[in-house]
Structure 1
């Protein structure tokens, strides 16, 4: 019996010793946004949220039949994307499909186009809506502060447009992409990117004369120094959207009134020049943090004098990006149908 206890104790000591060698030395935290990300004073970054990597399925996803593959858009800076092609039959093999350039959410600092949650979402979306999608992998803060994500997203959009010339020989886009029906879409921070890409496309021409037909923004991230709606006027500068933006873009002129975040802020370009014909803005009733900002964006676009069409779609009983976390819910399915009707209008 004594030997057994001694044996157990030595084993226990072994595991305690091993754990001690595996446990990192306590480091001093420089900045954190809980429960998402923590930055240490030695420069290391710990992402507390985010889905694991999911490999592409070039031979078709078993659940949806969608094929996917990863491509490199730029080596320096590093910009890549995952392409999605719906299952095609002999009759639709050469069918031209609308092209959707998608920008994932995650507050510009977490998540990935290659993460399992977005891979599952895009597989489902592409199979249901029957579009050819390009999900963009842009650089994240704080390793790459804004405007890096905007520059990467613009590079990806330019790359997609350049494929219309057939020079880069990306067969899925050349054989099945309809460059007269290009849409851009995204959720949360990705929806903010959508707005800024559409604004830039209204000023700078995309390659080969390609135009953006439509843009959809799901639960978009916008803010301003002036409180809006139910936002508290006291401590407004300490609210999460404000703190996050200052962390993401420390060099931004005007802080949260920078036009990238506040489309009607001081010095912001006219919204009448936004480079697309149609827009769909989606909000969730229980998205307490930014739901009202989505409605605010819809209203300022509607009143801007822009000649395009804009629509607002609200799901009252849901929270932020519910449609990505729970793609099987009835409300998520309703959103997919709403998007399909927007694209095939």
Structure 2
């Protein structure tokens, strides 16, 4: 009689993710996927999904705000482009989730930009640095539309309405970490059609290091969730939690004066357990000699990514208004 092996948990971050002996993965906190929509009834924003690459599989949900009527068909309205990397610890959530779809319908209606929300590969099935490569490929794909003869799987919204002099990158939490790594790569590697990143939005960015900073407790620091996440998603990282991709000030890390953008805004929240990491990063950029414009936005009395969970709240709207100025100034 054949023996049956019970399905056992081989790795987990309790309440967030469980990996089983048969290779299956459960993500209890992930919100359901929802389809894109044309002319969202609440905001008028239209969205659609597009495949950027088959191998590796990279896709995106693109959002277009309701455009003002124009009689000049030869000169359509041009909008800033925000290439966005969602949060979720590199291991859960999605550009197609209900959470981010709702956020972007509201965000795009209020900021009047084209948003390209990237669906990158998740750990642990695809450990880091896979997501960094996917997000760079997505940014290259967007930039390639600056010369429409250069784009593959070209998107008419980007060609007709994208302002390639105003390309931004942004992300929350783990996505904010991706923003840093993409901006560093853009400082040394050109994008197609010589497109430049104008600005970078770091919303509650995820960074860590072996040494606690600010209000972080010294005792048990390496057992905190934010340290455990890195080991879970990038177990082979050279230097572990002091790898330059998560600790930009690690020994041997490249100088932040090489960030490949012209302006940066770092957004933090007073009750966020990684609030001090955002300020730590901003101060490090300031001290590096980087020549761009640097801005801090802090909200009092709010926790990690409050603006994603409650995008129509008064405080989230305040943050969106600040980001609108950043995107259009």
Shorter-normalised TM range: over 0.9
Cα distance in 2, alignment partners of residues 249 and 187 from structure 1: 19
Distance 1:83 1:235 in 2: 42
- State the distance in 2 between where 1:114 and 1:157 align: 18
| Secondary structure of 2:170's aligned partner | strand
Aligned equivalent of 2:244: 259
Equivalent of residue 82 in structure 1, options 61, 83, 88: 61
Inter-partner Cα distance in structure 1 for 2:279 and 2:15: 26
* 3-state DSSP of counterpart to 1:164: coil
Partner residue in 1 for 2:126? 144
Which residues of 2 match residues 258-297 of structure 1 at below 5 A?
A: 258-288=243-273, 290-297=274-281
The structure that is helix-richer by fraction is 1
Tell me what 2:13 maps to: 33
Matches within 5 A, 1:194-233: 194-233=179-218
> What residue is the counterpart of 1:56 in the other structure?
36
Residue of 45, 63, 66 corresponding to 2:45: 66
1:124 matched to 2:109? The reply is no
C-alpha RMSD over aligned residues: 1.2
Take 1:179 and 1:124, find their aligned partners in 2: how far apart are those partners? 23
Equivalent in the alignment of 1:104: 86
Paired position in structure 2 for 1:95: 77
Count of aligned pairs: 319
TM superposition score normalised by structure 2: 0.95
Distance 1:316 1:60 in 2: 34
Q: Report what 1:7 is aligned to.
A: none
How far apart in 2 are the matches of 1:230 and 1:183? 31
More deviation, 86-95/324-333 = 86-95
CA distance in 2, matches of 1:208, 1:193: 22
Deviations 1:158-190 (A, max 9, x none): 000011110234210010000000000110000
- What SS class does the counterpart of residue 307 from structure 1 fall into? coil
- Give the distance between the partners of 1:234 and 1:260, measured in 2 at CA: 24
Q: Per-residue deviation at 1:266?
A: 1.5
Post-superposition Cα deviations, 1:304-334, rounded to whole Å, max 9, x if no partner, equal: 1000011111001101110111112110000
Alignment counterpart, residue 311 of structure 1, candidates 295, 306, 325: 295
CA distance in 1, matches of 2:164, 2:266: 23
Following superposition, the deviation at residue 220 of structure 1 comes to: 0.4
Question: What TM-score do the two structures reach when normalised by structure 1?
Answer: 0.90
CA separation in 2, counterparts of 1:236 and 1:187? 22
- 3-state SS, counterpart of residue 340 of structure 1: helix
Q: 2:172 and 2:141 mapped to 1: Cα distance? A: 21
Give the 3-state SS of the residue equivalent to 1:320 in structure 2: coil
Contact 2:62 2:117 in 1 (8 A): yes
Deviates more, 1:85-94 or 1:275-284: 85-94
Number of the residue aligned with 2:27: 47
In the alignment, which of 144, 147, 152 is matched to residue 165 of structure 1?
A: 147
Q: How does 1:188-199 map to 2 (within 5 A)?
A: 188-199=173-184
Deviation at 1:145, TM superposition (A): 0.3
Answer 1 or 2: higher relative contact order, Cα 8 Å, separation at least 6: 2
1:343 corresponding residue in structure 2: 327
> How far, CA to CA, are the matches of 2:211 and 2:133 in structure 1?
27
State the Cα deviation string for residues 263-288 of structure 1 (Å, max 9, x = none). Answer: 11111111111000000000011112
- Would you say the 8 A contact 2:106–2:312 is kept in 1? no
In structure 2, how many angstroms separate the alpha carbons of the residues matched to 1:160 and 1:180?
Answer: 12
Give, in angstroms, the shift of residue 26 of structure 1: 5.4
**2: CA distance, partners of 1:183 / 1:230:** 31
Give, in whole Å, the separation in 2 of the partners of 1:61 and 1:314.
30
Per-residue deviation at 1:89? Answer: 2.7
